Amino acid sequence: MTAVRTLAAFGSTAAIGPLRCGATLDDIAAALGPPWDIGRLSKRRRRPHLFS
């Protein structure tokens, strides 16, 4: 699939695989599994945390 076809599919469905515009975090976690908490981005601050 070319990049143009991928972008056209996204434009018409607003979805990339199981992810779609307007999906809740619960929907995303059900499709891809729960996020991993990698930890703090800075040693001096508690937030933000990096999730992947």
Confidence (pLDDT) at 40? 75
* Residue-wise pLDDT tens digits, 8-51: 888 888 888 788 888 888 888 898 888 887 777 777 877 776 76
Cα end-to-end span (Å), the chain: 26
Report the distance separating Cα 49 and Cα 40, nearest Å.
4
Confidence (pLDDT) at 10? 84
The answer to whether 38 and 22 are in contact (CB under 8 A) is: no
Confidence (pLDDT) at 9? 85
Angle at 27 between CA 14 and CA 33, to 5 degrees: 115
Residue 1 has pLDDT above 70, yes or no: no
Q: Which residue, chain included where needed, has tokens 């599919």?
A: 9
